[in-house]
C-alpha cells in the first residue's frame, strides 16, 4: 500500500511538471489570429497615444494587393535610424515591413522575423497602441525542402484591398520508381478575412 501511494504521488508530480512545461512555451499556429492577453516584448501597452500616432505616421503604407512568398521575401524593409524614437515600438528581433491598414479603431503592421526563413507576422494594435492580435502568415513546415529537392513545400500569400489574406501552400512529393522520377503536386488554398472591428 505504501508503494502504491508513493507511485501515485510520483505520477502526480510528473504530470504536473509536464503540464507546466508545456504551458510555458506557447506555439502560434500559422494562419491563425491569436488574441494577445499580455506581452513580454517591448510593446506599446502603456505608452502615450501621441507617441503611437507618431510611430504610425513614420511607417509607410503597403500597396495592395500585396504578394509575397517564403522562397523570395519580397516584402519591403523600412530603415530605422537611431534618431527616430521608435525602437521602443519594434518587437524584439523584428524587421519593420510596413503598415497594412490604419483606421479610427487601430492599425495593422507587418513585421518579419529572421529564422531559417523570413517569418512575416501581422500585428494588430488598437488606437492607443495596445497589441490586440497577431497573425503568422506561414511557418517552417509551410516552406521546406529536402537536400535533393525531391520534396518541397512553399507558401505564397496575397493580401487584397479588402484585407482578405489568400494563402496557397504547394507541396511537391517525388519518388524514384523503376528508374523514373514521379512527382505529385498538392495545392491547398485558404482565405482568411481580417476584420478590424
Q: What total number of domains does the chain contain?
A: 1
Q: Do residues 186 and 171 touch, judged by C-beta distance below 8 A?
A: yes
What are the grid coordinates assigned to 19, written together? Answer: 503540464
Q: Which residue has the cell 509551410?
A: 142
Ranges of the chain whose pLDDT falls below 70: 1-48, 82-85, 146-149, 195-197
> Does residue 20 belong to any structural domain of this protein?
no
- The rounded distance, in Å, linking the Cα atoms of 101 and 64 is 10
> Does residue 163 belong to any structural domain of this protein?
yes
Kindly tell me the sign of the dihedral angle through the C-alpha atoms of 136, 142, 147, 152.
negative
pLDDT of res. 148: 59
pLDDT of res. 88: 76
> Does residue 162 belong to any structural domain of this protein?
yes
pLDDT of res. 33: 56
pLDDT of res. 197: 53
> Does residue 75 belong to any structural domain of this protein?
yes
> Does residue 113 belong to any structural domain of this protein?
yes
Q: pLDDT, tens digit, for every residue of 119-161? A: 999 999 998 889 999 999 987 778 887 655 677 888 999 999 8
Question: Residue 177's domain spans which residues?
Answer: 29-193
> Does residue 188 belong to any structural domain of this protein?
yes
Answering whether pTM is above 0.85, one says no
- The rounded distance, in Å, linking the Cα atoms of 29 and 35 is 12
pLDDT of res. 2: 43
pLDDT of res. 138: 87
> Does residue 10 belong to any structural domain of this protein?
no
pLDDT of res. 36: 53
> Does residue 153 belong to any structural domain of this protein?
yes
Amino acid at each position: 500500500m505504501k508503494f502504491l501511494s508513493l507511485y501515485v504521488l510520483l505520477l502526480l508530480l510528473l504530470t504536473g511538471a509536464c503540464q507546466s512545461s508545456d504551458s510555458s512555451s506557447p506555439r502560434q499556429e500559422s494562419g491563425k489570429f491569436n488574441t494577445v492577453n499580455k506581452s513580454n516584448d517591448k510593446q506599446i501597452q502603456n505608452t502615450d497615444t501621441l507617441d503611437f500616432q507618431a510611430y504610425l505616421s513614420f511607417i509607410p503604407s503597403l500597396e495592395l494587393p500585396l504578394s509575397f512568398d517564403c522562397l523570395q521575401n519580397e516584402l519591403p524593409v523600412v530603415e530605422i535610424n537611431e534618431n527616430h524614437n521608435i525602437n521602443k515600438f519594434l518587437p524584439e528581433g523584428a524587421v519593420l515591413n510596413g503598415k497594412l491598414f490604419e483606421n479610427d479603431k487601430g492599425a495593422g503592421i507587418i513585421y518579419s522575423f529572421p529564422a531559417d526563413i523570413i517569418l512575416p507576422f501581422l500585428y494588430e494594435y488598437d488606437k492607443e497602441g495596445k497589441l490586440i492580435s497577431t497573425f503568422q502568415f506561414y511557418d517552417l513546415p509551410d516552406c521546406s525542402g529536402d537536400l535533393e529537392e525531391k520534396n518541397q513545400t512553399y507558401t505564397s500569400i496575397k493580401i487584397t484591398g479588402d484585407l482578405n489574406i489568400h494563402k496557397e501552400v504547394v507541396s511537391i512529393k517525388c519518388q524514384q520508381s523503376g528508374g523514373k522520377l514521379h512527382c505529385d503536386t498538392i495545392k491547398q488554398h485558404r482565405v482568411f478575412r481580417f476584420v478590424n472591428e
